[in-house]
Chains A and B, each alone.
Chain A
């Protein structure tokens, strides 16, 4: 089955510094990958997705993600972090091994941007 791993429970970064939230995947076939953000007491918000093509995917709120096939990674990045970026971030992969398509989410990484 497809899966994603988010190796860090929490990432701390100073405001204005670049941020990276890590995600690695395990898939058979071509990966179809997503990033979502969850603010307190709110549902998940779609940030970006990778289907095929350019390895650098641009998304909402200045976020981007780099797909690396050789390292099976899909790390989320932002050049300059804002305090308002503090939230819970989920990586997800689309899985089709059960015969139907479903999203499999990672366990989440809490990003804390310090002023």
Chain B
């Protein structure tokens, strides 16, 4: 079974530029999550999708971050414009069922390491 795929693996941009990350979850997984992991910290949830609908985006900085999962499969996370403090690893995860159910164990992709100069 293929795992969660993410691209690119690394990205270096200058502040005020825009950047996009792509995620393809495990086949059949209805729930998709984007996390931000700053160096030395645990992952922090940015947004959770159930199929193509947003379940929780309470911690997404909506003035600069956006995410979509239009067809309920793969997803894109965008930052525009980027700030220095956005330097982090962006992790995508998926689960078979919705968070809060018995099938909500999350499986993570390798992440995208973003450096903002």
Q: How far is the CA of A78 from the CA of B42 in the complex (A)?
A: 22
Does A49 belong to the interface (CB within 8 Å)?
A: yes
Q: Are B105 and A43 in contact (CB under 8 A)?
A: no
A-binding residues in B (CB < 8 A):
4, 6, 9, 40-45, 48, 55-56, 58, 91, 93, 98-100, 102, 104-111, 113
B-binding residues in A (CB < 8 A):
34, 36, 41-46, 49, 51, 90, 92, 94, 96, 98, 100-103, 105-108
Q: Are A46 and B105 in contact (CB under 8 A)?
A: yes
Question: Residue of B at shortest CB range from A106?
Answer: B42
Query: How distant is B111 from chain A, measured CB to nearest CB, in Å?
Result: 5
Q: Are A44 and B108 in contact (CB under 8 A)?
A: yes
Q: Are A101 and B100 in contact (CB under 8 A)?
A: yes
Q: Assess A108 versus B42: contact at CB under 8 Å? Given A43-B108, A100-B48, A103-B106.
A: yes
Q: Are A43 and B48 in contact (CB under 8 A)?
A: no
Question: Residue of A at shortest CB range from B101?
Answer: A101
Interface centre among A90, A94, A101 (most CB of B within 10 A): A101
Interface centre among A98, A100, A107 (most CB of B within 10 A): A100
Residues of A within 8 A of B99 (CB): 94, 100-103
Residues of B within 8 A of A34 (CB): 105
Q: Are A90 and B55 in contact (CB under 8 A)?
A: no
Q: Assess A98 versus B91: contact at CB under 8 Å? Given A43-B108, A108-B42.
A: no
Question: Residue of A at shortest CB range from B99?
Answer: A101
Q: Assess A43 versus B45: contact at CB under 8 Å? Given A94-B100, A98-B56.
A: no
Q: Are A90 and B108 in contact (CB under 8 A)?
A: no
Q: How far is the CA of A90 from the CA of B58 in the complex (A)?
A: 23
Sorted from nearest, which 3 A-B pairs have the closest CB atoms? A105-B42, A101-B100, A43-B108
Q: Are B42 and A43 in contact (CB under 8 A)?
A: no
Q: Are A49 and B105 in contact (CB under 8 A)?
A: yes
Q: Are A42 and B56 in contact (CB under 8 A)?
A: no
Q: Are B42 and A90 in contact (CB under 8 A)?
A: yes
Q: How far is the CA of A107 from the CA of B40 in the complex (A)?
A: 7
Q: Assess A105 versus B55: contact at CB under 8 Å? Given A44-B91, A44-B108.
A: no
Query: How distant is B96 from chain A, measured CB to nearest CB, in Å?
Result: 12
